[in-house]
Structure 1
């Protein structure tokens, strides 16, 4: 192994409406680790986004590296770990999944790669409790994944031609635990059928590039209606985005970021204006970005 190497893991957006805890895609914002072998371990978070995160071995990324080592019953060699991220924390863009996957991959490389990519996915999914962010973060593109006692199983889909993503990222954080706490513990049969049928249609539409089906397939009664009070303007976007150029809209993960699909052959100015207006009407500040879907997943260089 080289004396130094770099690991880069992408952001991700999970659920995409009805695909709760099972469907996600990777986005071109990055968490980057630079690792250098040396006599003692150092953990160095860099940049404003990581201010206040631990600069020692309690850092989540180093703990993920240790998770890989424990999985194979070995110790990590001493290393300097520099950490940077473009992924906003606690915004529903998979910042913890990017950190976890980057750390697991880095630890695995340090140990000579005893774990396969399927092993890494299973470890990551069990640590997170669901595979919807970690699968696309690891493999790129769109991932449909399940987690059960037999393992983590996934299908990676290449993004359809002309499918683009626009995200509204508000300037406030929303923890996944808080967003999960508002969900009901039981669902009616009709809501369950709605969820299953729309998740199946969404996966099928994405696999076949049926962009015209997205606004119908992305309807959800499992989590978005319950989380709407935590995300001002969410209902406005879900109900109105398709009138302003979106193919469909969804809460990104647990939020507060909202994702809209668009056709890359069409301009997105009207959609940006609509989303900015929703923020303004709800007294929010933030940014609206067009983000390419990442197709590489986590990469190692050096």
Structure 2
């Protein structure tokens, strides 16, 4: 298990800011050796694939679900927020599956529990709601049992979560935060972080309709052409280079894809018009978020850190309005979330503080911690 020295070394290696360092320390400090009666867990939304990085690339976003789990005399589940009308309130819920996976891993019986979830991550839109449920359940289960996981050279939490989810593109950034590249190295799941530039903003158009990931996967080909494989190899390299160097202009090509977006276009007729609208409005790049139907565009200011610039120098509102206009033109109702990447992933908290920023336009919402 990591100690303070390992946390400091990790933070220095990845040049984390003071806020991210504090959150990282809080996350690891929260794992105590005593079992708990009640725990609250916070986990971020994620965007997966990021264009060409199918099933291996993903990034954490500053939109958070909260889960409270408490020992009780009888099972119950209360759900508020996104997906509250559709999510099951029994043991088939992925949060419960996550808790069960944690207890199975440590070879303990699952106690009787009461669950309360407050969901802010859009449900079934391609923003990692299922991974958030799985990771939050695992974190809560481990905390309740007072069990510490091996991190260095093992990434045990990643193994549990990815074995449930099937691929690491969402669960890795949900656990560790930032931009993560995840693979299976032949013996276990492995992931590492890609440096993110300051001032990056994410503009996400969320259609009102939902998409099942399993349905979207049925459209994919089992075999691909050599030219498509070469295309995606190059685009993934450009994607990573754009983030690592801060050259956001490269994202126009770095978010292009030949493996899944074109194949999924029949169930996402809004995809191509919205990508085109985002790029025309000044976005650096745009792509399908996960399996969709959400479309994500990446923006920044004219120079430097976007948070220090005047609104007139920033691109996210122009891109947001362009996405809404393009969606309205083709009859695709929805709304836009403007958010940013986050360097840290899921963690255990004793209290939750949420700021609800004032909406500046009726269908554009800022989402922030």
Residue among 71, 74, 81 paired with 2:105:
71
Partner of 1:287: 335
Q: Secondary structure at the match of 2:55?
A: strand
Confirm or deny: 8 A CA contact 2:277 2:323 kept in the other structure: no
Of the structure 1 ranges 43-52 and 146-155, higher mean CA displacement relative to structure 2 is found in 43-52
Partner of 2:211: 174
Q: Secondary structure at the match of 1:70?
A: helix
Residue among 202, 220, 224 paired with 2:257:
220
Confirm or deny: 8 A CA contact 2:203 2:299 kept in the other structure: yes
Partner of 1:122: 159
Greater RCO, 1 or 2 (C-alpha within 8 Å, sep 6+): 1
Matches within 5 A, 1:260-271: 260-264=297-301, 265=306, 266-271=314-319
Cα distance change of structure 1 residues 53 and 238 upon mapping to structure 2, 3 Å threshold = closer
| C-alpha displacement of 1:39 | 3.2
Residue among 96, 114, 131 paired with 1:97:
131
| C-alpha displacement of 1:228 | 1.2
Cα distance change of structure 1 residues 278 and 157 upon mapping to structure 2, 3 Å threshold = same
| C-alpha displacement of 1:269 | 2.7
Structure with a larger share of its residues in strand = 1
Partner of 2:54: 20
Q: What is the aligned-residue RMSD (CA, Å)?
A: 1.6
| C-alpha displacement of 1:48 | 6.1
Partner of 2:71: 37
Confirm or deny: 8 A CA contact 1:159 1:206 kept in the other structure: yes
Cα distance change of structure 1 residues 26 and 235 upon mapping to structure 2, 3 Å threshold = same
Partner of 1:300: 348
Partner of 2:14: none
| C-alpha displacement of 1:148 | 4.8
Residue among 190, 196, 203 paired with 2:240:
203
Partner of 1:61: 95
Confirm or deny: 8 A CA contact 2:82 2:123 kept in the other structure: no
Unaligned stretches of 5+ residues in structure 2: 1-34, 307-313, 351-369
What is the distance in 2 between the residues matched to 1:269 and 1:53? 32
Cα distance change of structure 1 residues 44 and 273 upon mapping to structure 2, 3 Å threshold = closer
Residue among 279, 282, 285 paired with 1:245:
282
Q: Secondary structure at the match of 1:21?
A: coil
Confirm or deny: 8 A CA contact 2:59 2:170 kept in the other structure: yes
What is the distance in 2 between the residues matched to 1:148 and 1:181? 26
Matches within 5 A, 1:102-113: 102-113=136-147
Of the structure 1 ranges 197-206 and 36-45, higher mean CA displacement relative to structure 2 is found in 36-45
| C-alpha displacement of 1:166 | 0.4
What is the distance in 2 between the residues matched to 1:293 and 1:192? 28
Of the structure 1 ranges 154-163 and 190-199, higher mean CA displacement relative to structure 2 is found in 154-163
Confirm or deny: 8 A CA contact 1:182 1:226 kept in the other structure: yes
Confirm or deny: 8 A CA contact 1:26 1:137 kept in the other structure: yes
What is the distance in 2 between the residues matched to 1:66 and 1:215? 42
TM-score for the superposition, normalised by structure 1: 0.95
